[in-house]
Structure 1
Amino acid sequence: MTDTQALLDNRPPSMATLFVERVAATPEREAYRYPIPPASGEGPSDWGSMSWAETADRVYAIAAGLIDLGLGSEERVALASSTRVEWILADLAVLCAGAATTTIYPSTNDGETAFILSDSGSRVLIAEDAEQLRKARASRADLPALEHVVVIEEVDAVPADGDAEDWVLSLAELERRGAKYLAKHPDSVRDRVRDLRSDQLATLIYTSGTTGRPKGVRLPHDAWSYMGRAIEAIELLEEEDIGYLWLPLAHVFGKVLVAGQLAVGHTTAVDGRVDKIIENLPVVRPTYMAAVPRIFEKVYNGVAAKAREGGAAKYRIFKWAAEVAREYAKVSQDNFRATGTATVPLGLRTKHGIADKLVYAKLRAAFGGRLRACVSGSAALAPDIGYFFAGAGINILEGYGLTESSAASFVNPRDYRTGTVGKALPGLEVRIADDGEILLRGPGIMAGYHGLPERTAEVLEPDGWFHTGDIGELSPDGYLSITDRKKDLIKTSGGKYIAPAEVEGQFKAVCPYVSNILVHGADRNYCTALIALDEPSIMDWAKENGLAGKDYAQVTAARETQELIDGYVRQLNEGLQRWQTIKKFRLLPRDLDIEHGELTPSLKLKRPVVEREYKALIEEMYAGAREA
């Protein structure tokens, strides 16, 4: 067993030190795998490999290159790139140089990219490709602090406006420059790491707000060092694990996975191309991976749709197997909680064995065949979907945290409970306020919002307690259940409080065609819903139901589709309290997405944006209704 307190008390002062210690402990072990696209540009990728010692060689060269560019302590380096191994190398190099990383999603538009670069005062931008370089060029006149752009992929380095070439250099050039600098100053990076303080800024992550400008969350080195050691202490991961990392590293969820890997020392396969997940899983064969609920929802809906395509008999088998999985998971978890043993009655065990051969084994094979656990975070996972995967032998451990708390505040242990986000990480204090709000205090909490002392004071008390804005309940043995966002609770005109996320989650478990749903009802006398359908699933259904040849908007507008979804809404309502039921709904003509600003890059719903955009549809559902 791990001596938890000793691990936390003796954590290194910085994430850079955590990295140096990992390299020293296991220099020859494999650190990263990464795809190498085929020379022809077609076909599956080969996979390259990098040991911890080889990782250190590249990290130190990049760090020395940044030092040679004149980068000083806590000065910001922005990273605008998709998830790839170079993102991790660059981030670790920034930290080893004593600087701080500002993260930017590659999908961020020109205006917001310019705002983040300006607000952070970033002196260097590490850009993935020509598109990210273009954004910097477009705003260069308004970014006096930005002195250099380092491009990961090979592009034309001469700016279109005729500026000097030395403003732009490739990552390979920066590494060569760093190697020369290290030859003259061999202790330069080591000295920078040695001088780092635990309270020194390591990361500036801008939250994707639903309205207005994003806020920069200041996370010090100690937050990441603590996260790494806390993840190691709960023994969730093992040194022999193979992790699969595709989550955006610009998001705090992705970043905390890197901290955990440094502490534990396992191998991570890195590829942020979401369209390659299905192709990569059987190749990488991970033992664990992290994802957001939308991924599990899409997998579930995809399996259900495939079963339906196989005919009525195959679909009946799937629905039976899904119910068996849920019952099996609930019974085993309940019995473990009561007796410490996950016993299951013989009859249920027999049905489960049959369902495993017919359905579950194929599902596990699609994930690579040796997946020990998945960590789910960023939003709530519908319990029915969680129970389905648990019963199928794919353990989804829900966790909870915010950007302001370095992502991982709670996580389910191996004896997990579906529908909860698990227990607090060691070293974190938790309190439930009188109104149900979750308050946190500990080393992972942010230092504050960048340049916004008044906004910081709104959520961070002088004694360190952070107001999460989430409502929750703690079980006697420390498992946390999230009810909803405090600001998202709906109060009907009849005075009833409703948690929309709870209703939305239940609908996602009931309806295999849903992609996104927004429940509305604040200050109204009944609830309504805006529903966006999963395009592949509903279009496959349409072909089999007389709607072949129609586009997505035409399919969603069709009477047959309306009747189909109405049946699922009725099924949902059967399990709700009267005041929670959905009285009316509208199907949207397209799915919600990041490009239209309706979802955050981590796929969270931006309620105010959606409600504003579809205000006419919402008002239509209440037209003629008498408001109480």
Structure 2
Amino acid sequence: MQFQDWLRSLRSGGGVRVPDVEELRRFLPSSLSLSLSSSSLLGLGALASLTAYWLVTRPRPIRPPCDLHSQSIPIEGDPSCRRSALLPDETLLEFYYEDTRTAYDMFLRGVRVAGDGPCLGFRKAGEPYQWISYNEVCEQAQVLGSGLLSRGCQPGPQQVIGIFAQNRPEWVIAELACYTFSMAVVPLYDTLGQEAMVHILNIAEISMVICDKPEKAESLLSNKEQGLTPGLGCIVLMTPCSDALLERARNCGLDILQLGQLMELGRHNLREPVPPKPEDLAVVCFTSGTTGKPKGAMITHGNIASNTSSVIKILEGSFVIRQEDVSISYLPLAHMFERMIQVSMFCHGARVGFYQGDLSLLMDDIKTLRPTFFPVVPRLLNRIYDKIMGSVGSPLRRAVLLYAVKRKQAELSSGVVRNNSFWDKLVFSNIQASLGGNLRFILTASAPISPTVLSFLRATLGCLIFEGYGQTECTAGCTFSMPGDWTAGHVGAPLPCAMVKVSDIPEMNYFASNGEGEICIKGHSVFRGYLRDAQRTAEALDADGWLHTGDVGKWLPNGVLRIIDRKKHIFKLSQGEYIAPEKIENVYTRSAPVLQVFVHGDSLQSHLIGIVVPDPEVLAQWARERGIVGSYEELCRNPDLKKAVLDDMTVIGKEAGLKSFEQVKAVFLSSEVFSVSNGLLTPTLKSRRAALCQAFQTQIRQLYGQSAL
């Protein structure tokens, strides 16, 4: 071993072997080595060992894939219209791997990578996860697809199959069964309601639905009995049902089969796969919407491949999905966010473990599964943040926590992300263990997240946390935060599959010349249109193929996008001022006692009022600090506490730059949380504004009466 070689190995941090005393003598000039004692040489050896250890174990910053000061490039010199800086030219990315041009291709790649390795995991209460291998999933998909064909379904994207189930392995197998024979999927979900469900079954011409539970089959059967869904001819159940249900179905000309029966039929009539093409329809994803009938966004295999490939491209230097990686599946498979994550995992032969179907048991599932990949929505991250802050009661513990966060955030600012620092071991280890202790990657999307919460959790969890922005109509995402950029308050740069621009909204004083306006998207991930709905398709897609999102964005100097407003839900106050309530709501949720808030205005009124749901885990302590005590319900009725909450919201609003007319002047504290089950939130956790107005109409009238006095 030469001395120069040893130095080079130290500098590179590679495999380092510390030289022994005799080697040290050979490294040094003979005149010097003769004068050194053995103890001196041993000291040099110890120093060399420490140096080598430090070089090998020192934290290394993540190398960004591009210049973080220029993360997107203007197209044709127009700074309001931009593309990813990762592209060599203006040719947008269609696929990452040559053999992955469809969702089906991406799964088959996983089969080649993993073979008999685990693919889909499930568990029963108190038991470990059981796994189905990639080869088994592939075989079952072909068998089930063959069974569908034996029941009269036709191979090709014109054949649409409904899937009405919670997240579970059979959901994925059913979807892959359709893709194996180029058929399309329509996901259905509980919170649609009868009217929306009937609309979807009819407009999509669904003749067969695969269900998980008899209760869902009963709801479909009830519509059939009333003559509302004449085209529905067969229900396939994943679990057993009663003879009475079978008899009811027969009486109205509806077949109910067990999944096992259909698969047995497929085994006896096995067909060769008919793989889809990139332009073929893969899924019609019906968006729940806040008003009106659901719209069926038509997503192709090429849309899915380009969108997934773009995320892989962005992460290629910092986070390569490995076969041993595992994701926890609990976000609804009826929506594209969760499905795109699973496609990414399958493409690399990684594992997906399903929760038990009960969100109250999710943390137990996470501790058992120990995922490395955790998809989340901001609301869950807010809960984690509140739990952590609520667990540090004493001033000393809080001071230590905040100091440790500050030290970790200093590392993040230099690009270092790790979970093995002194502060991780001293302060954050229990927090990380509560999420399985194995996380490498968190992705948050679907709604804005507070920069404070995002920066805090990046420090405490010690893993990569990325934020994305998009919507169903662009398959899932259109922007994604860049590895190495751990700043908050933006949603990253355009994905390599799409161009993103901002366009003028004169009535809201947003102009593209200032880098502000409605966010518009064009590229390989943009959907084909809404199923049999030319009018709403024309409203979403303009003549040049740009998707108009209804969100308002601002380009920052380093080429990333910040979401600043919402175009769709704007209204005027009586004095003529335009109000964007969602922007105001996002500000007010930074108030410590506020869990949820609904900002309401009336064109006949000159000011805003708010319906506030206080955070049950924060409110009692927050109120006690102000000398107010009582149960949660009593606190919500307490006028002094209501005033304190309003005052805190007003302070937060001023700090965020809200104008006086954008501040609420009165609030009602509701002890009932807005949720999907009570109809006040969509399944993607967006406010149903019309439903909220209806639910709180009495309180709204009272608030306007109060604030008018």
Same fold (TM over 0.5): yes
2:439 aligned to which of 371, 384, 393: 371
Matched, 1:438 2:523: no
Look up the match of 2:339: 255
Question: Residues 519 and 505 from structure 1, CA distance in 2 versus in 1: closer, same or farther, beyond 3 angstroms?
Answer: same
Contact 1:326/1:387, CA 8 A, preserved across alignment: no
Look up the match of 1:119: 203
Look up the match of 2:12: none
Look up the match of 1:144: 230
Look up the match of 1:218: 298
Question: Residues 166 and 599 from structure 1, CA distance in 2 versus in 1: closer, same or farther, beyond 3 angstroms?
Answer: closer
2:248 aligned to which of 153, 161, 168: 161
Secondary structure in 2 matching 1:449? coil
Contact 2:109/2:349, CA 8 A, preserved across alignment: no
Look up the match of 1:346: none
Please give the residue correspondences for 1:519-534 in structure 2 after superposition, counting only pairs within 5 Å: 519-521=599-601, 523=603, 524-534=605-615
Letter of the aligned partner of 1:61 in structure 2?
V
Question: Residues 496 and 372 from structure 1, CA distance in 2 versus in 1: closer, same or farther, beyond 3 angstroms?
Answer: farther
Structure 2 distance, partners of 1:364, 1:399, is 23
Matched, 1:603 2:707: no
Structure 2 distance, partners of 1:303, 1:58, is 43
Look up the match of 1:557: 637
Structure 2 distance, partners of 1:71, 1:452, is 25
Matched, 1:66 2:148: yes
Please give the residue correspondences for 1:46-445 in structure 2 after superposition, counting only pairs within 5 Å: 46-72=128-154, 73-74=156-157, 75-140=159-224, 141-156=227-242, 158-161=245-248, 163=250, 167-182=255-270, 188-190=271-273, 192-193=274-275, 196-235=276-315, 236-239=319-322, 240-271=324-355, 272-308=357-393, 313=394, 317-318=397-398, 321-322=401-402, 325=405, 329=409, 335-336=413-414, 356=424, 359-392=427-460, 393-416=462-485, 417-435=487-505, 436-445=517-526
Letter of the aligned partner of 1:284 in structure 2?
L
Look up the match of 2:26: none
Structure 2 distance, partners of 1:153, 1:561, is 50
Structure 1 distance, partners of 2:450, 2:406, is 12
Structure 1 distance, partners of 2:365, 2:114, is 26
Secondary structure in 2 matching 1:161? helix
Which moves more between the two structures, 531-540 or 117-126?
A: 531-540
Question: Residues 273 and 411 from structure 1, CA distance in 2 versus in 1: closer, same or farther, beyond 3 angstroms?
Answer: farther
Structure 2 distance, partners of 1:424, 1:13, is 20
Look up the match of 1:515: 595
Contact 1:297/1:508, CA 8 A, preserved across alignment: no
Structure 2 distance, partners of 1:20, 1:106, is 31
TM-score by length of 2: 0.77
Question: Residues 601 and 159 from structure 1, CA distance in 2 versus in 1: closer, same or farther, beyond 3 angstroms?
Answer: same
Look up the match of 1:469: 550
Structure 1 distance, partners of 2:132, 2:577, is 56
Deviation per CA, 1:302-321: give whole Å up to 9, x if none.
Answer: 2333334xxxx25x633763
Deviation per CA, 1:114-171: give whole Å up to 9, x if none.
Answer: 2221221111101110111011110113222212101112222543526169801111
Alpha-carbon shift at residue 493 of structure 1 (Å) = 5.0
Question: Residues 247 and 461 from structure 1, CA distance in 2 versus in 1: closer, same or farther, beyond 3 angstroms?
Answer: same
Question: Residues 107 and 364 from structure 1, CA distance in 2 versus in 1: closer, same or farther, beyond 3 angstroms?
Answer: same
Alpha-carbon shift at residue 574 of structure 1 (Å) = 4.7
Secondary structure in 1 matching 2:294? coil
Look up the match of 2:34: none
Look up the match of 2:53: none
Structure 2 distance, partners of 1:501, 1:394, is 30
Question: Residues 364 and 560 from structure 1, CA distance in 2 versus in 1: closer, same or farther, beyond 3 angstroms?
Answer: farther
**Structure ranking higher on relative contact order (CA contacts 8 Å, 6+ apart):** 2
Secondary structure in 1 matching 2:649? helix
Look up the match of 1:620: 702
Letter of the aligned partner of 1:390 in structure 2?
R
Structure 2 distance, partners of 1:383, 1:30, is 37
Q: CA RMSD in A?
A: 3.1
Larger radius of gyration: 2
Structure 1 distance, partners of 2:134, 2:484, is 32
Question: Residues 93 and 508 from structure 1, CA distance in 2 versus in 1: closer, same or farther, beyond 3 angstroms?
Answer: same
Alpha-carbon shift at residue 589 of structure 1 (Å) = 3.9
Question: Residues 80 and 226 from structure 1, CA distance in 2 versus in 1: closer, same or farther, beyond 3 angstroms?
Answer: same
Structure 2 distance, partners of 1:496, 1:325, is 41
Question: Residues 623 and 542 from structure 1, CA distance in 2 versus in 1: closer, same or farther, beyond 3 angstroms?
Answer: closer
Deviation per CA, 1:454-507: give whole Å up to 9, x if none.
Answer: 110111123321111111022344321111221134655556555544443343
Structure 1 distance, partners of 2:201, 2:256, is 16
Contact 1:123/1:147, CA 8 A, preserved across alignment: yes
Structure 2 distance, partners of 1:541, 1:476, is 39
Secondary structure in 1 matching 2:391? helix
Please give the residue correspondences for 1:484-503 in structure 2 after superposition, counting only pairs within 5 Å: 484-489=565-570, 492-493=573-574, 499-503=580-584
Contact 1:228/1:261, CA 8 A, preserved across alignment: no
Secondary structure in 2 matching 1:467? strand
Contact 1:64/1:181, CA 8 A, preserved across alignment: yes
Letter of the aligned partner of 2:492 in structure 1?
G
Structure 1 distance, partners of 2:247, 2:455, is 55
Q: Which consecutive unaligned segments of at least 5 residues does structure 2 have?
A: 1-64, 66-85, 506-516
- Residue identity (%): 24
Letter of the aligned partner of 2:267 in structure 1?
A
Look up the match of 2:5: none
**Count of residues in Structure 1 that have an aligned counterpart in Structure 2:** 590
